[in-house]
Structure 1
Amino acid sequence: MDFTPTPEQEAARDLAARIFGDLSTPERLAGLGGGTDGELWKELGAAGLAGAVEETGLLGLVLMLEEQGRTTAQVPFAASCVYGLLAVAAHGTDEQRERLLPGLRDGSAVAAGAFPARGGIVVDAVADGRARLSGAVPWVPWLRDATHVLVAVRGETENTVHSLWTVRAEDAGCEPVELTAPWSAGRLVLDGVEAERLGGPEAYGDVLAAARTAFAGLQAGVCAGSLSRAVEYTNEREQFGKPLAAKQGVQLRAAEAYMDIEAIRVTAYEAAWRRDAGLDHESHALTAAWWASEAGKRVVHTGQHLHGGMGADLDHPVHRHFLWGRQLDGYLGCGAELLEELGEVIASGAGAADGGEAA
């Protein structure tokens, strides 16, 4: 395994870092409230960063999402790339790719994902790859910005393969939902909404694994940004004539956070690299998600604690990282559930067919 970025991946990451760094400043973010940064989204589309994911692969996307996480930029970059561009490119028909990909590449179309598959969505009148969906999903990140929604439908029994369907957001109902982080979420309401199938039996597992990997990469950036702010603060803040960073306890907390971030990063890189290489990556995506969930919340708590009383200020920039870290923890799933699923995957023999093991 070689996680060294290609020149194309490095160029995309560096461009993303510059755009996110220039536009997602604490002052600008404070003025956005809970809404999406439309200007930044247009800038990302004009720079071709979403479209670049087709060439840089999932690893390239993870690298760019790290840069988004460092600034907690309020744009649906992860969702639209994973549930839209990558999903359609990998599993769409020629007609679907021709129709949907241009808008997803330039940002004029935005995809959201009702993931993972939950009960309550009913599929009626399936014919020629089309059906009507009814039911509701309690909350879908970035639904208020979406033009298309990828809906994951659970099979009727545990042994039934889950299916993927795309619906136009304008045909579905959206009730605004406020989450811990400002992700423009909504409750998805489907009442006999026309939908078209995306991909075959393998599509759900592939998209879910890609999403877990991508959001783990986003968490790595969120945590890195939190720790960076904490390091800067403890080096500047003095107590009894010495910087807080000189205290052994502070150093140990920062070191533990750094190791947690590296664990999130390397497991996300491995899962992304394996998908790009065409290798089994389901167990590796679960491993990355577990680290992002469990270690991620530890890191953002550390970031707040190392700020002392300033960390309790809801307007302080580090608090945004705390909110995003906890939201990603909830979105990826609790550690116990992820470990249970990982154990089932390993026990079934999946993920070890090519000699790979979960990290």
Structure 2
Amino acid sequence: MDFTPSEDQAAAQALAARIFGDLSTHERLVAAGTGTDARLWKELCTAGLPGAVEDIGLLGLVLLLEEQGRTTAQVPLAATCAYGILPVAEHGTAEQRERLLPALRDGTAVATGALPVRGEVTVVDGALYGAVPWVPWLRDATHVLVADAERGLWIVDTRAPGVSAVPVETTAPWSAGRLGLDGVRGESLGTSTGAGTGAGAGPGPGVHSSPRTSPHASVLAASRIAFAGLQAGVCAGSLARAVHHTTTREQFGRPLSTNQGVLLRAADAHMDTEAIRVTAYEAAWRYDRRLDHQAQALTAAWWASEAGRRVVHTGQHLHGGTGADLDHPVHRHFLWGRQLSAYPGCGGEVLEQLGLLLAEDGRQVGPS
């Protein structure tokens, strides 16, 4: 496996780093509150970064999200790409791709997904009923990808009759909302009608998912990988702030970083951050090459949950009393890291799923 970015992936990552670095400043984040930074989102879309994901793949998206996570930039990049651009490009019909992708690429449409948060959504006579407790970026979204009880995937226009979005405050400022569906006529992903399971006309020419997985499993895995990449960036940003603080702050005439306990905590946080990054890279690499990736996606989600929580706690702890300041930039990394430690699935939950998957694979390849 070679995780070295391609020329296009490296160029997109460098451009994202420059845009996030220039515009996602502490002052702008404070001004944005819990909402999206509209100017930053426009800059990203004008630069063509969301649309570039169709060409640079999931690994390229992970690289972009790492840069977003370093600055905790408040834009729906992960949601729009993981629940909009990639699913439509890979599993949508030709008509769905032609109709939906242009607006998702240029940012005039924003997508999100009611996965992997559990909800109760059923289909009755082609209409959707139920609710999902919270959906990230729902308050900004024009479309939301919903999974029903049978794991069919539905594209729902948030402006359609019967759709409600009640604001919900989450740990991280993600413009979240509670999604309500009352007789909503959704559009099945992969079919141009309002019925079906999403298998429809089959994937588009850009499909990267393994032939062994369903569209639902593919989208869920891709979203877990994408948000693990975002967590890697959040942790890297938190650790960078901690390193700066401990090397510039002196105690008893010497930098805090010369204390052995500080060095060990920072070293452990660095190793945890690298574990999140490399497992996300591997899962994305396999996804892009149509190799089996379900176990790797769960592995990346586990590291993002367990290690991510440790890293952002360490980042805040190494700031000492400063870390207790809710207005300090490192606290934002703490909030994002805590949210991301639960969103793709809590550690115990994904570990159980990984164990069941490995056991099933063992039964399939074991002796007869």
Same structural fold, with TM-score higher than 0.5 when normalized by the shorter chain: yes
Q: Which residue of 2 aligns with 1:298?
A: 310
Deviates more, 1:336-345 or 1:200-209: 200-209
For the 8 Å contact 1:116–1:152, the answer to whether it is kept is no
Which has the larger displacement, 112-121 or 204-213?
112-121
Secondary structure of 2:115 counterpart: strand
- Conservation of the 8 A alpha-carbon contact between 1:117 and 1:154: no
2:299 to 287, 308, 311: 287
Partner of 2:215: 203
Q: 1:179 — aligned with what?
A: 170
SS in 2 for 1:319: helix
CA distance 1:249–1:265, change in 2 (3 Å): same
Structure-2 separation of matches of 1:75 and 1:89: 21
Name which of structure 1's ranges 203-212 and 145-154 shifts more when overlaid on structure 2: 145-154
How do 1:1-359 residues align onto structure 2 when only pairs under 5 Å count? 1-116=1-116, 118-125=118-125, 131-155=126-150, 162-171=151-160, 172-199=163-190, 200=198, 202-349=214-361
The answer on whether the counterparts of 2:111 and 2:144 sit within 8 Å (CA) in structure 1 is yes
- Distance in 2 (CA, whole Å) between partners of 1:52 and 1:196 is 25
Pairwise CA distance, 1:118: 3.2
> Structure 1 residues 73, 235: closer, same or farther in 2, change over 3 A?
same
Q: CA deviation at 1:252?
A: 0.4
For residues 125-145 of structure 1, what are the alpha-carbon distances to aligned partners after superposition, in whole Å with 9 as ceiling and x for unaligned?
Answer: 1xxxxx210111110000000
Name 1:158's counterpart in structure 2: none
CA RMSD of aligned residues (A): 1.3
Deviation track 1:147-202 (CA, whole Å, cap 9, x = no partner) reads 001001122xxxxxx11001101121110001110000000011101111113451
**Unaligned stretches of 5+ residues in structure 2:** 191-197, 200-213
Once the two structures are superposed, residues 103-122 of structure 1 have per-residue CA deviations (whole angstroms, 9 ceiling, x without a partner) of 11111110010012735211
- Against the structure 1 CA distance between its residues 117 and 22, is the aligned structure 2 distance closer, same or farther, given a 3 Å change threshold? closer
- Kindly state the Cα deviation for residue 31 of structure 1 after the two structures are TM-superposed: 1.2
TM-score by structure 1 length?
Answer: 0.93
Q: Matches of 1:24 and 1:89 in 2, distance apart? A: 29
Provide the aligned length of Structure 1 versus Structure 2.
342
> How many percent of aligned residue pairs carry the same amino acid?
70
Question: Cα offset for 1:309?
Answer: 0.1
Normalising by structure 2, we get a TM-score of 0.91
Separation (CA, whole Å) in 1 of partners of 2:129 and 2:326: 39
Q: Which amino acid aligns with 1:138?
A: P
SS in 1 for 2:4: coil
Q: Deviation string for 1:317-359 (max 9, x for gaps)?
A: 0000000000011212211111100011111118997xxxxxx
Cα distance in 2 for residues equivalent to 1:351 and 1:251? 45
Secondary structure, aligned partner of 2:5:
coil
Paired with 2:65 and 2:122, the residues of 1 have a C-alpha distance of 33
**CA, structure 1 residues 351+296, in 2 after alignment: closer, same or farther (shift >3 Å)?**
farther
Are the structure 2 counterparts of residues 20 and 81 from structure 1 closer, same or farther at C-alpha, using a change threshold of 3 Å? same
